[in-house]
Amino acid sequence: MNLQISHLRNLYLSGELTPSDLVKQLDAEIGDDDSRNIWIRRLTLDEMLSLAKNLEGKCIADLPLYGVPFAIKDNIDLADIPTTAACPEYAYTPAKSATVVQQLIEAGAIPVGKTNLDQFATGLVGTRSPYGAVKNSFNPEYISGGSSAGSAVSVALGMASFSLGTDTAGSGRVPASFNNLVGHKPTFGLLSTSGVVPACRTLDCVSIFALSSEDAAKVLESAQGFDEEDAYSRKAITEVQTIFDKSFTFGVPKLEQLAFFDNTETPDLFKQAIEQLKSLGGKAVEIDFKPFLETARMLYEGPWVAERYAAIRDFFESKPDAIF
């Protein structure tokens, strides 16, 4: 099924499809098989139908995401559905949805379920979960990337039009790249993190997985907004720029600073990417990447680790054996 937002919207406007039709078909196509360990909690058909039927008396023109199915990383709250952060003993059932989830539902989007992740959104591989390692959408022998692993694979395999993840230090972009998706990390504070289990509170962002940049932009438009409940929330002060100069400059690390870890295909692919950027009008400039690596090492081995520990310290100290 083609789940791109514009395609679904055209079907709804023409009367060829209803939200109820969509969720029935989607539920049947997803089925009961979860051999890739994508889901922690799928919504039942009845739960999705309740949301779908509620839409069917409303004006499509007023709802930019009318009948669009989406998945939610299971460290983001969906009302009356448990949030686990991939730790069963940490689980709680929220009375209300995270602000960003509620805004998407109000825009017409339909939740499909809560997705698997590296526990407490800590990891970049998608394997650190008691619910099983999430498997890559192209080859189940490969890792999916993490920590928003299930969010990426659910979209890549046609189970949702888009999904929400989180991105503190790559958790939204890494799995997107491993599964051929658009992974959008918005400006910090643009999407509310109220109702999101914190990792590093001063860095956490809700991210978007989509099939195209156009879809990601549509989701962002509905999801963004200032939230008084989020101390880090900020208002967007400019519109999204969609037209760029034809010429641009991009940096390429010094040859001796490149590391491909014995992957024989990657050096050629890296060169191809540089040539592609040049063909689009880019000018390659050699840069010294060492200061960036040193800064990253200092942060990852110091304050970010401390802040992440602080986010779950009480739980960790009371139930250390629950950590996967």
Q: How far is CA 282 from CA 165, 255, 266, 275, in A?
A: 31, 19, 21, 9
Encoded tokens for 157: 């395999």
* Rounded-to-integer distance, Cα 143 and Cα 91, Å: 25
pLDDT(42) > 80: yes
Res. 239 pLDDT band, cuts 50 70 90: low
Closest CA to 131 of 85, 164, 174, 96: 85
Which residues are part of the catalytic machinery?
Answer: 73, 147, 171
Arithmetic mean of pLDDT, 284-290:
97
Q: What is the model's pLDDT at position 154?
A: 98
Residue 256 CB partners (closer than 8 Å, separation 6+): none
User: What are the domain boundaries of the chain?
Assistant: 5-223, 248-288
Residue 19 CB partners (closer than 8 Å, separation 6+): 12, 51, 52, 53, 55, 56, 66, 67, 110
Residue 307 CB partners (closer than 8 Å, separation 6+): 200, 201, 202, 203
Closest CA to 129 of 315, 324, 308, 312: 324
* Rounded-to-integer distance, Cα 20 and Cα 56, Å: 8
* Rounded-to-integer distance, Cα 39 and Cα 72, Å: 10
Encoded tokens for 282: 């880019």
Class of domain 5-223: alpha beta
Contact 90, 315 (CB under 8 A): yes
Burial of 248 per CB tally in 10 Å (0-12, 13-18, 19+): exposed
Contact 112, 73 (CB under 8 A): no
Task: Give the tens place of pLDDT for each residue, 132-180.
Answer: 999 999 999 999 999 999 999 999 999 999 999 999 989 999 999 999 9
Q: Which position has the higher pLDDT, 48 or 243?
A: 48
Contact 79, 95 (CB under 8 A): yes
Q: What is the model's pLDDT at position 300?
A: 81
Encoded tokens for 130: 């008691």
pLDDT(262) > 70: yes
Q: What is the model's pLDDT at position 257?
A: 95
Q: Alpha helices of 73-133 — where are they, by DSSP H? A: 99-106
Res. 240 pLDDT band, cuts 50 70 90: low
Task: Give the tens place of pLDDT for each residue, 81-131.
Answer: 999 999 999 999 999 999 999 999 999 999 999 999 999 999 999 999 999
Q: What is the model's pLDDT at position 242?
A: 63
Q: Classify residue 186 by its DSSP letter.
A: P
Phi, psi (rounded to 5 degrees) for 7 = -65, -45
Arithmetic mean of pLDDT, 67-82:
99
Task: Give the tens place of pLDDT for each residue, 191-220.
Answer: 999 999 999 999 999 999 999 999 999 999
Mean per-residue pLDDT of the chain: 95
Q: What is the model's pLDDT at position 324?
A: 86
Task: Give the tens place of pLDDT for each residue, 168-187.
Answer: 989 999 999 999 999 999 99
Q: What is the model's pLDDT at position 308?
A: 87
Res. 302 pLDDT band, cuts 50 70 90: confident
Arithmetic mean of pLDDT, 61-87:
98
* Rounded-to-integer distance, Cα 286 and Cα 275, Å: 14
* Rounded-to-integer distance, Cα 199 and Cα 46, Å: 33
Torsion from C-alpha of 197, 198, 199, 204, nearest 10 degrees: 110
Task: Give the tens place of pLDDT for each residue, 245-256.
Answer: 788 999 999 999
pLDDT(238) > 90: no
